[in-house]
Structure 1
Amino acid sequence: MNSVLKIKNYLKKNNIEACLISKNNTFLNEFVQDRDNFLLKITNFTGSLGYAIIYKNKQNLYVDGRYTQQAKIQTKNFIIKDISLLKNDIGKITNYNKKLLVDPKTFTFSFFGKFNYKNLHFFNSNKNLKKKEKLFYLSKNYSGQDSFEKLKKVNKKLTLKKNEVFLITSPENIAWLSNIRSYDKKFSKIFNCIALVKNKRIYIYSDQKINLKLNKIMFKKNSEFKKNLLNIKKIYTDKKYLSLYYHNFFIKNKIKIKFINDPIDQFKSIKNNTEILNLKISHIFDGIAYCKFLYWLKNNNLKNTSEIECQKKIEFFKKKNKFYLGPSFETISATEKNASIIHYNAKDYKKANLKKKHLYLLDSGSQYLYGTTDMTRSFSLGKQNQFRKKIYTLVLKSHIAVSVANLKNMTGKKLDQIARKNLIKFGYNYNHGTGHGVGYLSNVHEAPPSISKLYNKKFLVNQVMSNEPGYYKENDFGIRLENLIFKNHKNKFENLTLVPFEQEMILKSMLTKNEKNWINHYHGEVYEKIHKFLSSREKAFLKKNCLKIN
């Protein structure tokens, strides 16, 4: 069933009301290869979050605010609906004794929590093709903790009894626990696997041939997994990571399940001192590459310079660093109206060239042995009108408001409101969260924490997150300013990102004295840490871009 028409024919033939499709693979990863992305095959939508419901006589695509405009451009004959309406539409099917077709391997058990399971019918959308990967162990110099030390923390939290296991179905969490990464995996550097914690050891099941010899870690074939579970008395696992497929297997084989919150979620979100120090190093690496790129961009005559060429150029500068392992996500290189598409990918659209007087947005991230980065800047390629400068300044004020916030008793929801205040005062806003957690040589989007209306928890010391307010005028321009930050022991944020803001876009009259001081201090830090690695011309260029504003 690789088309809307074939799915509809199957529904009619089998008297099924609708088919629900996600972009997930069987490991529920954020980053999925095209070959494993059934949603892409059916809808042509390339976004990182979305669902489709195919009915017998219509089809809906559900996305959040980041992707509304993109979904309208990329899909044909689909009704675009807000993702908040998805569960209600599913309920109209399953809770009214109508059949819903799903692939149980591509949905979590918790996703269907309030629905009638009896009305779910199953099919296989994913072939899960195997690919050999080169794996490596992240030594203590980089990770700050050996895997057996991390295992002690997890065992202390769980206190498993004899013949009980902790099942980890999140490859991201297994990567943190084991310190194993993949050189070959695109973006996340996480290899696909599942794991059991049993008898104070980690048993990792995968299709990879692993030659690593590690203390307390045993490697097994995927084919052995189900057989090894049949004699287990009780499984502890997190339902937000457990696929419906494995849940059904446990129920069928009468294996007792106890749902818990995976303690690794919090463990991995709190970076240790080695990781924080290494992240500072990785952002110096990034800062060097971005400043070289900015010098190239500003001194380019822009004759036939495309968005994709800019994307390749930033990769060229990053690859000069021997510790660089690749991008942490697909770089967003977007000029003028394309930047109003929040998660724009130049490879999915008609070729666009940068021109004088354009406003160009670059959202780019890196994976180094020293950690994961994510940065966004909007660059002026010539004279801009007052409205664009006003918006840029308001977004910068919002960015500063987050950076200087007192974090004592501060929640992600409250900080998100503080970030938007400057924009909302003028009737503007943005349709995405203000910030997301960031992993360490892992997923660039990590939870917890987040700065959003959905996060009611306080921030913890050494949690790393993004600070990225923005504004997007459809078919005109987009502005986003993003730094990575972390909470220190003084209840304040510290900046990690080292890239100057666009001084010619700042309306100084709109800034307070404290905001000017913050910008001057930040630019002083950028220049101090980056200039020594630049050529004389690049250094003079950076100095000019970091001059104090009065």
Structure 2
Amino acid sequence: MFQSFDSQAKPAQGAPRLVRLRAELAKAGLSGFIVPRADAHQGEYVPPRDARLSWLTGFTGSAGLAVVLPDLAGVFIDGRYRVQVKAEVDLAVYTPVPWPETRPGDWIRANLNAGKVGFDPWLHTADEIAVLEKAIEGSGVTLCETDNFIDAIWPDQPAPPLSPAFAQPEEFCGQTAAAKRDEIAAILRTAGQRATVVTLPDSLCWLVNIRGADVPRNPVVNAFALLHDDARLEIFAPDVKFGDDLRAILGPQVTIRPPQDFLTALHNLPGPVRVDRASAPLAVSRALEAAQVAVAWGEDPCRLPKARKTGAEIAASRAAHLRDGAAMVEFLCWLDREAPNGGLTEIAVVEALEGFRRATNRLHDLSFDTICGAGPHGAVIHYRVTWDTDRPVRAGELLLIDSGGQYVDGTTDITRTVAVGAVGQEEAECYTRVLQGMIAISRARWPKGLAGRDLDPLARAALWMAGQDYDHGTGHGVGAFLSVHEGPQRLSRLSEVPLEPGMILSNEPGYYREGAFGIRIENLVVVEPAPPLPGGDAQRNHLRFETLTLAPLDRRLIVTTMLSPGERDWIDRYHGDVRAALLPHLSAEAAEWLGRATAPV
């Protein structure tokens, strides 16, 4: 099993660890310390060594931070974790703070009259610190760059990851590493920049067509790199990560240097040097400034090219989704057979789903720990089942399953909410509204230049008309056998990045009622040019989505009288596509089940 079910949250340890941290802060003359979720590479998922927020507070979510003051400790969580945080932290010593409604700087200003608040400059970006500094400007509070106080009190902190990197086949990339380095170097030369600092692991892996295992569920290599304007690349990583065979593939233009050489290399660079103030650790720009090397603020030049998938990457992703879709149908058939008999629990469901994916003989890893929430657990948006929380799958309840696989040819992410026996009319109506939102995104056509924030309301309209909504974005970018959450593209109220052909995103509206049920339906989609329509403006370029995910929706939960003719047609066409694609790859039992599951609505 890739997934384990041990509890990672340890609320009882939060109080004594907090006492030790405050004692260290008092010795250093500090009134507070900021503990982010991120590591030095600003990844959403971090190696065990960098799970400082979880170690201190017990909170295991993939986003958030803690601010520890002398008499108050706030844990900042967004809408995905409002329920989860209550179960994972000691509420006697930690205060959940809704974020971004309440900003950390404003909270510090409101709760601290004077003093110094420390932070580790390797774990925060220039943008983050600038926002904090502006919020406390004029108060008696100042920010102070310090060593990391969590590392100082964590006696059994795990070692840094040292997993070997490996080459990603060019047949799945569609572009050689040399061509990518030349492309990014040309961007630097056009901008008059001599080099760029690469700090995001997925950017580095994309740039040189490598993958690794330094971060759970994400096949990335944690390392810093410098790309020069002549396309030379220096990677700063332990030697053990890059074997002789891989070095030969990378070629003479790519050199591997010890991690401790990184700061020295920064000091010796000719400027200007591009630094992404939204993703690079503040320590990078501080080092350049100290050496009087000109800093040119600019977005990581790998992010957009990485997000615009090549034809080869899209074709490979289709193959991965075909394989994953067949595994999902075998699983859903099994679930439909077994769940009514009773005896299943959330863990049993997770184990079975992983087993069907493993049976493809192509599964490299999960793309994240499977979320399997029965009944009220479905309302915990990023619920992770443990031996302590494992719940029976009961008749009359909804079961939410959000899962995905990492295959060498693609990354998948799919959510299906299914009925176990007969469920209530209210649950079915809520499900149908969520489905209407997913269909609205799937059918959308829009003029080139629009961003995710422009499309996000389409997914919420049916829920809004019923006075309902959900507290997460509608979709995130997805990598090509890389991070399951990839920027900069998103379907979100906050996203201003224009959607472009080749971008893969999730389409996953939801609805959650705490203590009762949760609903989410998710397909992955890829942006493509939309063909012109009769009577349309010929001069306008429009885009649309192709749906990659192949798995049936639960027809038993669809209130067909709520649907428009166009929505019913979309469901039937989608189910027809699922049947046509998957039937040749299924067992006889699953093929028969799929025929029933995809009958016209």
Give TM-score, length-normalised by structure 1.
0.95
AA aligned opposite 1:88: G
Structure 1 CA distance for aligned equivalents of residues 593 and 80 of structure 2: 34
- Shift in Å at residue 475 of structure 1? 0.3
* Aligned: 1:299 with 2:337: yes
Query: 1:174·1:195 contact (CA, 8 Å) conserved in 2?
Result: yes
In 1: Cα distance, 2:313 partner to 2:56 partner: 41
Q: 1:230 is matched with which residue?
A: 267
Q: For 1:150 and 1:326, how far apart are their aligned partners in 2?
A: 26
Quick check: 1:142 aligned with 2:179?
Answer: no
Partner of residue 419, structure 1:
459
- Give the equivalent residue in structure 2 for 1:43: 57
Provide the C-alpha distance between the structure 2 equivalents of 1:201 and 1:184, rounded to a whole number of angstroms. Answer: 24
Change in 2 beyond 3 A, CA 1:246/1:93:
farther
Between 1:11-20 and 1:524-533, the stretch displaced more is 11-20
Partner of 1:87: 104
Query: Partner of 2:496 in structure 1?
Result: 456
Q: Which amino acid is 1:469 matched to?
A: P
The answer to whether the aligner puts 1:197 opposite 2:227 as a matched pair is yes
Q: CA deviation at 1:93?
A: 8.1
Q: Bigger CA drift: 108-117 or 309-318?
A: 108-117
Task: Show CA shifts across 1:180-212 (max 9, x none).
Answer: 101564211001001111232111111242121
Tell me, in whole angstroms, the C-alpha distance in 2 between the residues paired with 1:86 and 1:356.
Answer: 42
CA distance in 1, matches of 2:19, 2:213: 39
C-alpha offsets along residues 507-548 of structure 1, whole Å, 9 cap, x if unaligned?
A: 111111111110000001111111111111111001100111
| Residue 220 (1) aligns with residue 253 (2) | no
The answer on 1:266 being equivalent to 2:301 is: no
What SS is found at the alignment partner of 2:399? strand
Q: Does 1:158 align with 2:196?
A: no
Query: How far apart in 2 are the matches of 1:90 and 1:98?
Result: 14
Q: CA 1:502/1:221 → structure 2, altered by over 3 Å: closer, same or farther?
A: same
* Deviation per residue, 1:222-243 (Å, 9 max, x gap): 1222233332222222111221
Deviating more after overlay: 121-130 vs 136-145: 121-130
Is contact 1:438-1:465 (8 Å) kept? yes
Contact 1:11 1:17 in 2 (8 A): yes
Partner of 1:338: 377
How many pairs align?
A: 549
Give the C-alpha shift of residue 42 in structure 1: 1.2
Q: How far off its partner does 1:95 sit?
A: 11
Secondary structure at the residue paired with 1:300?
Answer: helix
- Farther-moved stretch of structure 1 (380-389 vs 401-410): 401-410
- Cα-to-partner distance string for 1:50-79 (whole Å, 9 max, x where unaligned): 111111111111010010111112111211
- Show the 5 A alignment for 1:383-462: 383-409=422-448, 410-462=450-502
Aligned to 1:109: 126
- Whether contact under 8 Å (1:423, 1:429) holds in the other structure is yes
- Relative to structure 1, the CA distance from residue 121 to residue 167 in structure 2 (aligned partners, 3 Å threshold; closer, same or farther) is closer
Which amino acid is 2:566 matched to?
A: N
Question: CA offsets, 1:84-131, max 9 Å, x none?
Answer: 223333662899762002122211122101444963141223467233
Identity of aligned residues (%): 28
Distance in 2 of aligned mates of 1:184 and 1:12? 35
Q: Which runs of 5+ in 2 are unaligned?
A: 1-13, 135-141, 152-156, 531-542
Give the structure 2 partner of residue 518 of structure 1: 570
For the aligned residues, what is the CA RMSD?
2.2
Amino acid at match of 1:277: A
1:532 to 584, 588, 599: 584
1:30-69 equivalences in 2 (<5 Å): 30-69=44-83
SS of match in other structure, 1:278: helix
Tell me the residue number matched to 2:282.
Answer: 244
Residues 163/477 of structure 1: CA separation in 2 closer, same or farther (3 Å cut): closer
1:160 deviation in Å?
A: 7.6
Kindly indicate whether residue 13 of structure 2 is the aligned counterpart of residue 27 of structure 1: no
Report the more deviating stretch, 95-104 or 357-366. Answer: 95-104
Cα separation, 2, equivalents of 1:404 and 1:497:
15
Instruction: Name structure 1 gaps, 5 residues minimum.
Output: none
Asked whether the 8 Å contact 1:39–1:51 carries over to 2, the reply is yes
2:139 aligned residue = none
Shift of 1:309: 1.7
Between 334-343 and 304-313, the greater mean CA deviation after superposition: 304-313
1:251 CA drift (Å): 2.9
Question: Is the Cα–Cα contact under 8 Å of residues 195 and 205 in structure 1 kept in the other structure?
Answer: yes
- Does structure 1 conserve the Cα–Cα contact (< 8 Å) formed by 2:39 and 2:46? yes
Partners of 2:35 and 2:160 in 1: CA distance: 22
| In structure 2, C-alpha distance between the alignment counterparts of 1:43 and 1:131, rounded to whole Å | 23
SS at match of 1:346: coil
Verify the 8 A CA contact 2:402 2:414 in the aligned structure 1: yes
Does the 8 Å CA contact 1:371/1:440 hold for their aligned counterparts?
yes
For 2:409, the equivalent position in structure 1 comes to: 370
Q: 2:266–2:287: 8 Å Cα contact kept in structure 1?
A: no
- State the secondary structure of the residue aligned to 1:48: coil
